[in-house]
Amino acid sequence: MALTQALTIGIDIGGTKVAAGVVDPEGNILDRLRRDTPTKDPRETEDAIAEIVHDLESRHDVIAVGIGAAGFVDGTRSSVLFAPHLAWRHEPLRDAVERRLGLPVVVENDANAAAWSEWRFGGGQGESHLVCVTLGTGIGGAILNDGALQRGKFGIAGEFGHMQVVPGGHRCECGNRGCWEQYASGNALTREARELALSGSPVAHNLLRAADGDPRKINGPMVTELAKDGDPVAVELLEDVGRWLGIGLANLAAALDPGTFVIGGGVSDAGELLLAPAREAFKRTLTGRGFRPEARIVRAVLGPEAGMVGAADLAREEATWLRRVRVKTTAVTAKTAARSGRSTRLERAARKSVGRRTGMRTAAPDPERELQDETEV
């Protein structure tokens, strides 16, 4: 089997669910598994990951595993510094999982993984300056320049959701007030809808009915469904979120000047009900408007599985690279190296360069060249 045809597993670790899939080089998902996230304990999460991988491995020949996790992933992409929904603090996830699986593992921020797949297979194909915004409960962000994920110095660039847009605004779980994700996310949509219903306003009648009369049961998808059916209040609620989305995008355009914004995540299911007001607000807020080229704002096309596909594809990139290097040098196989939990100097070098390739730069150092350098030493 040619390596370029090899399959990899992508795993998306959310606050409540672990979703995994076997992904081919074209980004097709061949097999899927879903588990509840067992507890917040890191060991048990590792157990769940290992179980899922063994299960999928029994039916498919896979060469690597990519894990997308909500949180700060460090610059070497081996540790999760901080995850808002899990009890991970400086968790050396990559090495721990590699040891258990005997397969190369890549750990990536979930929004970065989703952006990578949109660039490879989705709404961002061919865009040299891409910014992806994932609207879930919060806001995830990613920057891709010339097909390279921009991770920043410590691996935590692109945390757009915590850019402040309202001084002294709503409290945010990051510890601040007025973060963008308090105004343009699924949580914001739900909060506003519930508040409206709680106010007892008759305009919220349809909303309340959809939630069996209990304002606390109102959620984002409910609002979106009602809006699609033409309920004027639901349309307005999405308009408000869309407007905040456009205002934040204008800030990002001032700072990053992308060619395209791809908007994904659950809230983007609302489509034009969200994006039309976002574009309007963007155009009205953008600095120097009328005197500069403007970015396109489009919807993501890969849906909720973008993160899984992206993590799998990033794992393939890295594994393909590592094997090419290894096959030519030492007898150390991927499995024994991984089991030992140690990596050779060459592997570390290769990892670093592929990290740069899928991370910081387009042009990777030539593998042959790297080999020479290693043998000369």
- Interface ranges with Zn ion (CB under 5 A): 162, 172, 174, 176, 179
Least distance from other proteins to the Cβ atom of residue 372, Å: 24
**Element containing residue 19 per DSSP (H, E):** strand 17-23
Q: Is 227 in the site for other proteins (CB under 8 A)?
A: no
Per CB under 8 A, contacts with other proteins among 298-327 are none
State both tokens at 134.
């994932």
Least distance from other proteins to the Cβ atom of residue 170, Å: 13
**Closest to 328 measured CA to CA, from 377, 367, 355:** 367
CA distance 219 to 194: 8
From the list 31-39, 94-102, 138-146, 201-209, the region that binds other proteins by CB under 8 A is 138-146
Q: Is 126 in the site for other proteins (CB under 8 A)?
A: no
Residue in 3, 157, 332, 349 binding other proteins, rule: CB under 8 A: 157
Least distance from Zn ion to the Cβ atom of residue 243, Å: 19
State both tokens at 43.
């060991």
Q: DSSP states of 188-243 as a string? A: HHHHHHHHHHHTT-GGGHHHHHHTTT-GGG--HHHHHHHHHTT-HHHHHHHHHHHH
Q: Is 145 in the site for other proteins (CB under 8 A)?
A: yes
AA letter at 123: G
Least distance from other proteins to the Cβ atom of residue 29, Å: 31
Residue in 26, 153, 345, 376 binding other proteins, rule: CB under 8 A: 153
Q: Is 82 in the site for other proteins (CB under 8 A)?
A: yes
AA letter at 90: H
Residue in 10, 136, 138, 158 binding other proteins, rule: CB under 8 A: 158
Q: Is 92 in the site for other proteins (CB under 8 A)?
A: no
Residue nearer to other proteins on the CB measure, 27 or 248: 248
Q: Is 250 in the site for other proteins (CB under 8 A)?
A: yes
Q: Is 251 in the site for other proteins (CB under 8 A)?
A: yes
Residue nearer to other proteins on the CB measure, 21 or 355: 355
Residue nearer to other proteins on the CB measure, 249 or 312: 249
**Closest to 140 measured CA to CA, from 131, 148, 149:** 131
State both tokens at 333.
């196989």
Residue nearer to other proteins on the CB measure, 243 or 326: 243
From the list 206-214, 251-259, 326-334, 368-376, the region that binds other proteins by CB under 8 A is 251-259
Q: Is 85 in the site for other proteins (CB under 8 A)?
A: no
Residue in 164, 219, 329, 344 binding other proteins, rule: CB under 8 A: 164
CA distance 123 to 130: 10
How far is the CA of 26 from the CAs of 22, 75, 144, 373, in angstroms? 12, 27, 19, 33
AA letter at 235: V
CA distance 125 to 142: 15
State both tokens at 16.
């409540």
**Element containing residue 48 per DSSP (H, E):** helix 42-57
Q: Are 262 and 245 in contact (CB under 8 A)?
A: no
Residue nearer to other proteins on the CB measure, 205 or 289: 289
Q: Is 89 in the site for other proteins (CB under 8 A)?
A: yes
Per CB under 8 A, contacts with other proteins among 171-190 are 172, 174-176, 179
Q: Is 62 exposed, middle or buried (0-12, 13-18, 19+ CB in 10 A)?
A: buried
Q: Residue 288 binds which one of other proteins, Zn ion, none, with CB within 5 to 8 A depending on kind?
A: other proteins
Size of the site for other proteins (CB under 8 A): 54
Reading across the β-sheet that carries 29-36, which strands appear in turn? 29-36, 17-23, 7-13, 62-69, 105-109
Residue nearer to Zn ion on the CB measure, 203 or 255: 255
Q: Is 352 in the site for other proteins (CB under 8 A)?
A: no
CA distance 109 to 15: 14
Would you call 130 helix, strand, or coil by DSSP? strand
Q: Which residues bind to other proteins, rule: CB under 8 A?
A: 72, 81-82, 84, 89, 128-129, 141, 143, 145, 150-160, 162-167, 172, 174-176, 179, 247, 250-252, 254-259, 285-293, 295, 360-361
